[in-house]
Structure 1
């Protein structure tokens, strides 16, 4: 019985901790990467028309990526022709549907017996945004690392809240860069 409780608790904690999705080229030597530059046509707003994905958000994403790469890895921004890696990023927004049901059953009354059943179903549509960050070896022009994170988009946030959200998301994505072998 104790083992069942432990397994259930671990499954619950695993479900609650969401980590960014990432993948990398095992043959890449990440220790050699000291400088980065932006991919020439990197554009957050290219493939989406969501009002939250705009030029202001693009500035926040670039700033957060630069900060993380500099502070965490000591990488510095360089001329694209001289950089060790090129950084690309893009975002997408999808609509999701949250369906929930609520069931109630009840039984006896004072003077009669009865059985009732009530089923209430509700559906809510919401938007999920995904931010993808790619690291490309400039010399070989090959993708060596990709990270992504998705989450429910929140509306009516202040610019400060949006900036904090972007910084947290980028830090979560780049938490596994460079990958630990």
Structure 2
């Protein structure tokens, strides 16, 4: 029973970690209000590691659509083909394999016999290793000179089952919206 309770607690702790960890950085000397147009920096999406199991035209299409929709909501227009844009957007999809070890100590029990003697049963430690993957989506905004002006990212545990195409698209839209909620930087 105790082991089941510990396992359930561990799984709840990992589930709590599934919320996206957001981060952003930017050039504080940049006038973000002056940036009105954007285009893709080619290659628009890069994968780390460059693994054919990760690379997907469908994922790239979902990402491009989500970024375009979010930037439009923020008042940025996509530049016409071959026109110079104020910023160029590049995305990175990264997946890392990670491990977490969890140790549980089962302590000794103190016993006594009817003659007043005391003794302890030995305790032991059980160590479990959990293997999981962390996925990071990073969006970089580069100026016309190719200098980074803003970077936003979201990292979270990759679920074992990705879901239907509609669920994948919704997850991509939500993640991009969370990242771009940090753009433009305000009050910093």
TM-score by length of 2: 0.78
Give the conservation status (yes or no) of the 8 Å contact 2:109–2:121.
Answer: yes
Q: 1:150 aligned to 2:152?
A: no
Q: Indicate which of 167, 171, 174 corresponds to 1:168.
A: 174
1:10 corresponds in structure 2 to none
TM-score by length of 1: 0.80
What RMSD in Å do the two structures reach over aligned CA positions?
Answer: 2.3
For residues 129-148 of structure 1, the aligned pairs below 5 Å read 129-138=135-144, 140-148=145-153
Larger radius of gyration: 2
Residues 35-69 of structure 1: per-residue CA shift (max 9 Å, x gap):
11111322334752162442111111111111111
3-state SS of 2:173 partner: helix
Give the conservation status (yes or no) of the 8 Å contact 2:20–2:156.
Answer: no
Give the conservation status (yes or no) of the 8 Å contact 1:99–1:123.
Answer: yes
Gaps of 5+ in 2: 1-15
TM-superposed deviation, 1:22: 1.0
1:78 corresponds in structure 2 to 79
TM-superposed deviation, 1:19: 4.3
Number of residue pairs matched?
A: 165
TM-superposed deviation, 1:155: 2.4
Gaps of 5+ in 1: 1-14
